[in-house]
């Protein structure tokens, strides 16, 4: 990154700090009122207000980033900085923003209610790279697709889930978030933990951001790209990000290909994680933000308290 780019990054980082400080100050003022309440209800109000204030902060950062940097998103930008916890009277506020389009979108497995064979093959490659059973792809495909016909290897539809000790039905729709994987055949806690750094669940079919994708996901999505070559690409990218699809495609070795519509150098979806400590109370919240309207105003896809 050249001196001019670093200067711009520093200015953006200062802006992020300013937004965070404003959010912390607003929280402090509100907490002065909340402390007059008692019990678990007050803790929940505090947590909910944290999510709202943090979402406003992150949305402003992402909106300004799109205006400043255009359609390119990479780990060297200020939104990706890991800022230390910011103290305020009797507490502290911490937060981070993580790009989600650098991960494998599990909802890409099905389009229009039907299995996308190319995406399924990519997910199977990712499972192989992570040393996980290939039949997990069939189980997830059945959870997502609209029909009731089990896939041949490890598939599971209503008959399987209805025969469990606590019966339920297959989802037959896109995942809302990754927590739903706990209901899918074969996706036990160890499998979900192994997958978590590499997958996401987004509400639309998405192209992969090659500027933020880990090597394992690049190797899964790009035909003919092995993990070692993907790691070389990532190491090269860390020095200078890909400015457009052509820039990325030119870096691929012989025999490595990917349809251009399946990749991009920017992102629309970001996960915001926030944590607050106030006195003895602690709260944590997450929001999925979508930055895809004409004005680049990030909207909330979902929010939750943890």
Please list the ranges in the chain whose pLDDT falls under 70.
1-48, 50-51, 294-296
3-state secondary structure labels for all residues of 1-62: CCHHHHHHHHHHHHHHHHHHHHHHHHHHHHHHHHCCCCHHHHHHHHHHHHHHHHHHHHHHHH
Q: Tell me what pLDDT residue 26 has.
A: 52
Q: Per-residue pLDDT tens for 11-31?
A: 555 555 555 555 555 554 554
Q: Tell me what pLDDT residue 288 has.
A: 95
Give residue for tokens 């059973």. Answer: 133
Say yes or no: do domains 3-91+269-305 and 111-195 share a fold.
Answer: no
Q: Give per-residue burial for 120-129: e unless 16+ CB within 10 Å, then b.
A: bebbbbbbeb
Q: How many residues does the chain have?
A: 306
Q: Tell me what pLDDT residue 34 has.
A: 45
Reported CATH class of domain 111-195: mainly alpha
Q: Tell me what pLDDT residue 23 has.
A: 54
pTM attached to this predicted model: 0.85
- Looking only at the bridges linking them, the beta strands covering 281-290 and 299-305 are antiparallel
Q: Tell me what pLDDT residue 153 has.
A: 87
- 3-91+269-305: what fold? 3.30.1300
Q: Per-residue pLDDT tens for 166-217?
A: 999 999 999 999 999 999 999 999 999 999 999 999 999 999 999 999 999 9
Annotated domain spans of the chain = 3-91+269-305, 111-195
Tokens of 139: 């189980």
Task: Give Cβ neighbours of residue 251 (< 8 Å, ≥ 6 apart).
Answer: 233, 236, 242
Q: Tell me what pLDDT residue 51 has.
A: 66
Q: Tell me what pLDDT residue 198 has.
A: 98
Q: Tell me what pLDDT residue 52 has.
A: 74
């Amino acid at each position: 990154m050249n001196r001019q780019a670093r200067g711009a990054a520093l200015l953006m980082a200062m802006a992020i700090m300013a937004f965070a400080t404003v959010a912390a100050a607003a929280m402090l003022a509100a907490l002065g009122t909340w402390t007059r309440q008692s019990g678990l209800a007050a803790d929940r109000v505090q947590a909910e207000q944290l999510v709202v204030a943090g979402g406003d902060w992150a949305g402003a950062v992402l909106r300004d980033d799109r205006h400043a940097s255009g359609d390119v998103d990479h780990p060297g930008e200020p939104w990706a900085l890991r800022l230390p916890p910011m103290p305020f009277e009797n507490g502290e506020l911490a937060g981070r923003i993580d790009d989600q389009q650098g991960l494998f979108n599990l909802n890409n497995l099905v389009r229009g209610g039907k299995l996308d064979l190319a995406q399924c093959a990519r997910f199977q490659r990712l499972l192989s790279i992570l040393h996980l059973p290939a039949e997990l792809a069939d189980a997830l495909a059945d959870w997502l697709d609209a029909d009731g016909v089990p896939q041949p290897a490890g598939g599971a539809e209503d008959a399987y889930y209805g025969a469990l000790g606590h019966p339920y039905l297959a989802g037959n729709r896109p995942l809302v978030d990754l927590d739903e994987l706990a209901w899918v055949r074969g996706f036990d806690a160890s499998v979900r933990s192994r997958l978590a750094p590499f997958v996401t669940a987004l509400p639309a079919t998405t192209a992969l951001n090659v500027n933020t994708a880990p090597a394992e996901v690049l190797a899964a999505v790009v035909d003919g790209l092995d993990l070692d070559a993907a790691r070389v690409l990532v190491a090269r990218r860390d020095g200078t990000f890909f400015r457009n699809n052509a820039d990325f495609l030119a870096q691929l070795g012989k025999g490595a290909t990917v349809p251009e519509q399946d990749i991009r150098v920017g992102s629309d979806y970001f996960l915001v994680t926030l944590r607050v400590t106030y006195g003895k109370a602690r709260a944590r919240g997450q929001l999925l933000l979508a930055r895809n309207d004409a004005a680049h105003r990030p909207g909330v896809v979902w929010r939750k308290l943890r």
